[in-house]
Copies of this chain bind each other. A is one copy, B any other.
Amino acid sequence: MLLTLADGPLRFSGLRQLIGSVTPKVLTSTLRTLERDGLVQRTVYAQVPVRVDYELTDIGHSLLGPMEILRKWSESHASKVLQARDEFDARDDLIRS
């Protein structure tokens, strides 16, 4: 979510498009949590139809670096983690059967 907002403000619909598989309910709840934590700023424009923008605050921007490092780690270790899960589940099935 934070990485999605890295390049600038987005509207709710724009965020949904970029993130993909997320329900509006979950997206709203996540945005609210990020707003409460001071990482995302929500701006309502009094126009018809009403426009709502979401953008990173300074604190949100400061978290981009650490998040990017974590994203890179995930990318390079995803296959190993998935393999470990498969092996664990196979052992687990064996014990339970």
A residues lining the B interface (CB < 8 Å)? 35-39, 59, 62-63, 65-66, 69-70, 73, 77, 80-81, 83-85, 87-89
Contacts and interface: CB of A to CB of B under 8 A. Distances in A.
A40 to B, nearest CB: 10
A85 B59 CA distance: 13
A59 B36 contact: no
B66 A80 contact: no
B70 A62 contact: no
Contacts of A69: 65-66, 69
26 contacts: A35-B88, A36-B84, A36-B85, A36-B88, A36-B89, A37-B81, A37-B84, A38-B80, A38-B81, A38-B83, A38-B84, A38-B85, A38-B87, A39-B81, A39-B84, A59-B80, A59-B81, A59-B84, A62-B73, A63-B73, A63-B77, A65-B69, A66-B66, A66-B70, A69-B69, A70-B70
